[in-house]
Structure 1
Amino acid sequence: MQIVIIGSGNVAYHLAKAFTQNQIPLVQIFGRNENDLKKIAEELHIDYSTDILKEADLYIICVSDRSVEEVSALILKKDCLVVHTSGSLPKEILAGEYRKASFYPLQTFSKSKELEYEKIPFFIEAENENDKNILFELASKISQKVMESTHEKRKYIHLTAVFACNFVNHLFTRAKEISDSQDIPFDYFLPLIDETVQKIHEMDPKLAQTGPAVRNDVRILDLHKQLLKDESLEIYETINRSIKKMYEL
């Protein structure tokens, strides 16, 4: 099977790397950013282009959600399968007369961070059984966790991921701002963060909750609010209200 990856960002890089590590040949990585494409191509020893899209049986679009439809229109071949990697978009967003599907890896991707690809869940949706089987076989060469998912279910998977990953990382960023403001090394908090994450491998997150809000420790809550301002204060109050409501305090 001839495969082309379209994109040069984090998802494109890691999928290309996962493919090459698992001896899945790529005929090309295609995109607009020549510098990024060249770095990926040189590292992984694959061809790249910014202007000539090679013929392929499968095109994997790894671009931002707002660009998927526009980029998909570049594929003029009809007898091929085109997939996007979005967690939120329907496969019907793809603008062509080819066969359409989604190929969603549930992970946060940064080029500088190594990943264990075999642990990443992949969610597949296709127009027919044959294409579904093709994508299942492909994903199974990379990952031990490959599942079928409708667009409706995938939207909730992505929403859950935003809460569990993007929001949590923003809180880490806010926490580091506070520690930096007082010249407290953020490294001190890494064992706490690691233990917090490790606990939910063994406990329901609701049962693992600790802190002044779950105890309704008004004195500490008020003290913290005096130390905060602007957006961090708003976040602190919003999350504490949510915790209190969950635990009916």
Structure 2
Amino acid sequence: MEQKNILLLTATITPMPGLPSLARVDPKARLDDYLTALRFYAPLLGRCFDAIVFAENSNSDVQALKDHVRQAGVADRVEFVSFDGLDFPASHGRGYGEFKLVDHAMAHSAILRERSDAVVWKCTGRYVVENIEQLVRGRPPVDLYCHKRDYPYRLCELFMLSYTAKGYDRLIRGVYRQLCNDVVPGVHSTEEVLFRTIIDAATRDATVCPRFRSTPLIRAIRGWNNASYRSRTDPRIILRQVANVIAPWLWI
């Protein structure tokens, strides 16, 4: 039987004040970002994704997004889950809020509950991953598919990862509590570094593929400085693509 794939887009349309390293705070601009991404992903329904779940944690108005999927004729395959989930100190950081949102979506989305045998692709909802279809089709049969890097420091990229029900239960459920940027008093640690430490130390019975077989190519507006970004023209991403071929042991 062909594996089912569900895209889980995480979103915060109206961020709380004071979040560290976040310059893109205007709700209208962020809503436009999510609409741009949804316009890209909706045509992939029936090709590499069976459904999309759009999960939003600031309880903001998502009617413009609903209107788009209705006009695109895919409303029956796109579910919106929205709640007021920004009830934590801003110093905890964005990773804390995003993975708390993942838990909420996994518990409350009808699609995710009914299709528990599907592979979930969690993607930061403002990002367009231009080669996501290639990534989905090349996914190995593991419980958690993620992308670790060792240089310039050890981390696990969190804008996109993919998991099965088993991978979620054993490696992701409740992990947001450990992704506080302020978990150590006086020390700021990013959620990517914290998640890498957690996954590296995991001894539970779950299989993990720590490197994407293809380098994700992102098109987005950076949240931390409001600058346009496209991976295809970034020298670092080009270097990473080359290294994946000629030096796959070099995790950069």
Q: Same fold (TM over 0.5)?
A: no
Answer 1 or 2: which has greater strand percent. Answer: 2
Of structures 1 and 2, the larger Rg is shown by 1
TM-score normalised over the length of structure 1: 0.32
